[in-house]
Amino acid sequence: MHSVKEKVSNAASAAKAHVESYKANVEEKAEKATARTHEEKEIAHQRRKAKEAEGNMNLHDEKAQHAAEKLHGKHHVLGHHQQPFGAMDPITGTTAPTFPLGGHLHGHKHH
């Protein structure tokens, strides 16, 4: 379920990025049509490239959010957030230890 939701969300984000790219291209053409100098045309081109880069950045940011939502959904059990060993907590920025804190794994008896 989460994979399908993530894929659909990613597709929607990609479509949004394509629309932003198309709009930037149309705006560039309009600016170039009214530009009188080569420098003004170059400025219009650079604006388009900046808008496309911003759209791609937003796309990748949204994809990361979708992946985080998927991961959070898989590790969210009865209101407790379980984090795999060695994983970084996105909220605090700290890394969980790669070893069990109690010296043993849960479910294993002490000998």
Higher pLDDT, 72 or 90: 72
Instruction: Look at residue 86 in the predicted model and tell me its pLDDT.
Output: 56
Residue 77 has pLDDT above 50, yes or no: no
Count of beta carbons in the 10 Å neighbourhood of residue 90: 12
Quick: pLDDT tens for 56-76.
999 999 999 999 988 887 665
Quick: pLDDT tens for 1-12.
668 888 899 999
Instruction: Give domain limits for the chain.
Output: 2-80
Higher pLDDT, 107 or 18: 18
SS3 string of the chain?
CHHHHHHHHHHHHHHHHHHHHHHHHHHHHHHHHHCCCHHHHHHHHHHHHHHHHHHHHHHHHHHHHHHHHHHHHHCEECCEECCCCCCECCCCCCECCCCCCCCCCCCCCCC
User: Whole-model pTM?
Assistant: 0.58
